[in-house]
Amino acid sequence: MMECVHERKNNMFGSSSKLDVDSAGNLTHSASVSSDISSRNKMDIVCVIDVVQTSNLAHRKRALEEVKQAATLVNANLLIVSFEKLDFGETVELDTFYDADVAIVDLSIQFQQSSLFYHLGVRESFGMKHNILLYNDVDTEATLRVKLSCGSYMFLSYKLADCGTCLTTNTSFQDEGDSSVFEPRVPITIKLKKLLKDVEIQSKVHIKEKFLSDLRKARETYTGEELRSKLLIMRKRLDDPHVLSGEVVLNMLISFRDLQDYDAMVQLVEDIQTIPNKKKFYTNTGIAIFISICFE
């Protein structure tokens, strides 16, 4: 086994939840972690990793625990799907796998690889591009072959270290001197946390842009009372912190102003005043000028 290069501290990643395994040995859906924030605002992560096949089972079980820890650290919903049910094509498992914001898939069991690649391809055909592949590196040559077959997918190989954590073992490339260049070995929890945070940022940007796009479409399609009704429906979407921003608030104010719905403008401004970090909206120069012109 590899030696640990990072000293582990007690509860460094928080307590891990119990493995959800049914009587048939299949993983079931795991409960969401960190339930203090509405799950509507959380990223959904689906994980497929075998905990049934006996070969190097301890490695994969530990890897699953570290996936859970990474999900906890980014406050995400973690959904665990068994390979057997996904491969069989059960509806719930297929929907869960295809709809999740991020898929984390372990390719360590060779006979599962072709089916998993198929389902990953279906995900990508739906526009779900955030996929992370794991592989238990117990044979360097086999690991390199699998990595090459993964193309542009994010690929993380790992090995269980003596200290009980899984460390990355990725070989990046061969340099001109024909010597291998290795990425630093880190716990896969840390690597996954970084990757998932990047996805979360991209998802937040997408949600805001989708709202602005819907708002532009509504303004182009509707007028009068119809537009007012659409705006009031869209106004409810501002409860999502991923949507709310200075740009969104300004565009909503402009939309209400064009309809001369000043009551809705006042209500929106008053609602913003209840937000703890409301200063970031009032320091937006465009909003400040717009409000002063409309209500002077």
DSSP 50-66: --SS-TTHHHHHHHHHH
Say whether pTM exceeds 0.75. no
37-56 confidence digits (pLDDT tens): 344 457 889 999 999 999 99
Give buried/exposed letters for 190-213 (b at 16+ CB in 10 A, else e). Answer: bbbbebbeebbeebbeeebeebee
Q: Are strands 171-174 and 180-182 parallel, antiparallel or unpaired?
A: antiparallel
Report the distance separating Cα 292 and Cα 173, nearest Å.
58
Rounded to an integer, the average pLDDT of 56-69 is: 95
Q: What pLDDT is stored for residue 224 in this prediction?
A: 92
Contacts of 140 (CB under 8 A, 6+ apart): 171
User: What does the pLDDT read at residue 190?
Assistant: 93
pLDDT (0 to 100) of residue 111: 95
Contact 78, 67 (CB under 8 A): yes
CATH of the domain spanning 39-200:
3.40.50.2300
Mean pLDDT for the stretch of residues 218-245? 87
Q: Is the pLDDT confidence value at 172 over 90?
A: no
Task: Say which residue, 99 or 35, is predicted with more confidence.
Answer: 99
Q: Whose CA is closest to 240, among 37, 33, 31?
A: 37
Report the range out of 90-94, 125-129, 205-209, 288-292 with the highest average pLDDT.
90-94
Rounded CA separation 271/243 (Å): 15
Comparing C-alpha atoms, which of 20, 6, 49 is closest to residue 135? 49
For CATH 3.40.50.2300, the residue range(s) in the chain are: 39-200
Per-residue pLDDT reduced to its tens digit, 87-119: 998 888 988 898 888 999 999 999 999 999 999
Backbone angles phi, psi at 134, to 5 degrees: -110, 150
Q: Using CB atoms within 10 Å of the CB of residue 295, give its burial: 0 to 12 exposed, 13 to 18 middle, 19+ buried.
A: exposed
What is the reported pLDDT for 238?
83
| CA–CA dist 112, 236 (Å, integer) | 44
Per-residue confidence (pLDDT) for residue 174, from 0 to 100: 43
Quick count: other Cβ atoms within 10 Å of Cβ 99?
14
